[in-house]
């Protein structure tokens, strides 16, 4: 590194710490950890914390479903305007992408999802959902608040950023594949890496959990209509019974995982929908079934999809019925497997360890859940992690998608500080790699 480069980077670095410039070496292991610590102090200050809590509660009261997050998006843009952060809008209908820093490389993205779920909130509290049948039961309201919190901290340090932080507020994580549409609309143009947080009731407050490699499954949905010939229940010989056919189909589908898949290759086929008939003494004309299938590799996923279609149509014909199968990818796109980048995992452990202590960086076992963050991590290095919320002194925190789901707002500063620190440290490390010490460059060879 040349002296002038060293000097400018040293200046940037010290500006982050608000310390006078000294002769300490740039990226010194003693001082670098101070960035996330300082950011956590900022995120916990009443100015940032109370503001984040207010935003989260406002969004919680007005939940909006996927691709309908108009008010949430408006609120985000109003806050970005207030902070003087430029942004692009709309992407994927309601999505917003903000930019903090120089506007030049390196670019690092931090992401929040904005959508709620179609379910009724059961928690009685002052800021309960005001919209019947809609609820933020997955914590996406907290995700937005934490990303705005990070934006506030980063914007205050924008002059010290030698790169650009990209704030990704996306719609429709819950099945709609908003991330895919954000990508199609150019949300990650020029971006080198992306980080995503999900709140988790299963881990204690002040901890994070994740791992390198595949962490969440690939997911798809299917629906099939099995058609027979309806008639009187007492004269089955004059009918073709689709209920019996659908029952055979469902049992046969269970053989895909238990008999065809490698027992060491996790897969799931679940039929969650079975609709047909309405009277005790009538055999209906048709039955509709639907479900989800999940796998941890692309090959297994494609194999499952193909076999689901075959089993449904062929088993239907054994029972003298016809079947049509749809996977409805337009409305419910297949989610790829979420794979955490190996280098980002090491980087994450360093940065999160500096904030929380290494003992609070937990290993997360992969689960068959799915996340559309996977679309981002398919095209650029991505890293997705859980943020702990559990605190027994504050009662039980239910897991996501429960009508009793609650967010522990004490987790918000951790999320904001992690976002801000990961982005800042990523840019610093990338810069130091882009401008290595002169003596180490041998690319003339």
80 or 138: whose CB is closer to Zn ion? 138
**Shortest CB 137 distance to Zn ion, Å:** 7
Give the C-alpha separation, 93 to 421, whole Å: 29
**Shortest CB 268 distance to Zn ion, Å:** 17
342 or 401: whose CB is closer to Zn ion? 401
**Shortest CB 401 distance to Zn ion, Å:** 6
Q: Are strands 322-326 and 267-276 parallel, antiparallel or unpaired?
A: unpaired
106 or 400: whose CB is closer to Zn ion? 400
**Shortest CB 232 distance to Zn ion, Å:** 45
228 or 400: whose CB is closer to Zn ion? 400
Report the half-sphere exposure of 9 (CA within 13 A, side-chain side): 25
**Shortest CB 117 distance to Zn ion, Å:** 7
Give the C-alpha separation, 134 to 433, whole Å: 47
401 is in an annotated binding site: yes
60 is in an annotated binding site: no
Q: What is the DSSP letter of 232?
A: E
Kindly report the backbone phi and psi dihedral angles of residue 418, in degrees, each rounded to the nearest multiple of 5, phi listed first: -65, -50
178 or 381: whose CB is closer to Zn ion? 178
Q: If 0-12 CB within 10 Å is exposed, 13-18 middle and 19+ buried, where does residue 326 land?
A: middle
**Shortest CB 220 distance to Zn ion, Å:** 17
Question: What is the distance in angstroms between the CA of the first residue and the CA of the last residue of the chain?
Answer: 19
Partners of residue 390 on adjacent β-strands: 204
**3-state class (DSSP) for residue 415:** helix
Give the C-alpha separation, 372 to 364, whole Å: 18
Q: What is the DSSP letter of 381?
A: -
248 is in an annotated binding site: no
333 or 400: whose CB is closer to Zn ion? 400
Residue nearest to Zn ion (CB): 138
By CB under 5 A, name the binding residues for Zn ion. Answer: 138, 400
**Are the C-beta atoms of residues 147 and 170 closer than 8 Å to each other?**
no
**Could you tell me the two tokens for 186?**
């150019």
Question: Which residues are documented as binding site for Mn(2+)?
Answer: 138, 140, 174, 198, 401
Question: Which residues are documented as binding site?
Answer: 138, 140, 174, 198, 401
């Amino acid at each position: 590194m040349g002296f002038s480069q060293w000097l400018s980077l040293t200046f940037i670095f010290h500006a982050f710490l608000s310390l006078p410039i000294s002769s300490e070496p740039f990226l010194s292991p003693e001082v670098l950890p101070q960035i996330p610590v300082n950011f956590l102090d900022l995120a916990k200050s009443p100015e940032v914390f109370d503001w984040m809590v207010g935003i989260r509660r406002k969004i919680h009261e007005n939940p909006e479903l996927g691709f309908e997050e108009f008010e949430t998006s408006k609120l985000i843009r109003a806050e970005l305007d207030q902070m003087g952060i430029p942004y692009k809008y709309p992407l994927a209908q309601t999505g917003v992408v903000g930019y903090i820093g120089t506007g030049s490389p390196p670019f690092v993205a931090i992401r929040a999802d904005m959508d709620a779920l179609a379910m009724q909130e059961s928690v009685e509290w002052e800021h309960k959902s005001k919209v019947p049948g809609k609820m933020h039961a997955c914590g996406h309201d907290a995700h937005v608040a934490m990303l705005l919190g990070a934006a506030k901290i980063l914007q205050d340090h924008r002059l010290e950023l030698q790169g650009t932080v990209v704030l990704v507020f996306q719609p429709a994580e819950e099945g709609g594949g908003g991330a895919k549409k954000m990508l199609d609309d150019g949300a990650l143009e020029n971006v080198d890496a992306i980080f995503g947080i999900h709140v988790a009731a299963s881990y204690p407050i002040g901890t994070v959990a994740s791992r390198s490699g595949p962490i969440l499954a690939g997911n798809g949905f299917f629906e099939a209509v099995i058609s027979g010939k309806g008639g009187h229940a007492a004269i089955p010989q004059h009918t073709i019974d689709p209920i019996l056919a659908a029952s055979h189909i469902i049992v046969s589908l269970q053989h895909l995982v238990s008999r065809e898949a490698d027992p060491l290759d996790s897969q799931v086929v679940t039929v969650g929908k079975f609709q047909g008939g309405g009277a005790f003494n009538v055999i209906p004309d048709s039955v509709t079934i639907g479900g989800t299938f999940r796998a941890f590799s692309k090959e297994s996923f494609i194999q499952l999809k193909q076999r689901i279609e075959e089993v449904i149509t062929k088993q239907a014909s054994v029972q003298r019925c016809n079947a049509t199968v749809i996977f409805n990818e337009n409305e419910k796109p297949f989610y790829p497997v979420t794979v955490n980048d190996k280098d980002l995992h090491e980087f994450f452990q360093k940065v999160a360890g500096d904030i929380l202590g290494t003992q609070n960086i937990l290993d997360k076992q992969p689960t068959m859940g799915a996340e559309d963050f996977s679309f981002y991590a398919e095209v650029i290095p991505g890293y997705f992690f859980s943020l702990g919320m559990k605190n027994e002194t504050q009662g039980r925190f239910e897991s996501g998608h429960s009508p009793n789901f609650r967010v522990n707002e004490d987790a918000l500063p951790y999320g904001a500080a992690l976002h801000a620190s990961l982005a800042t440290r990523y840019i610093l490390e990338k810069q130091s790699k882009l401008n290595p010490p002169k003596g180490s460059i041998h690319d003339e060879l």
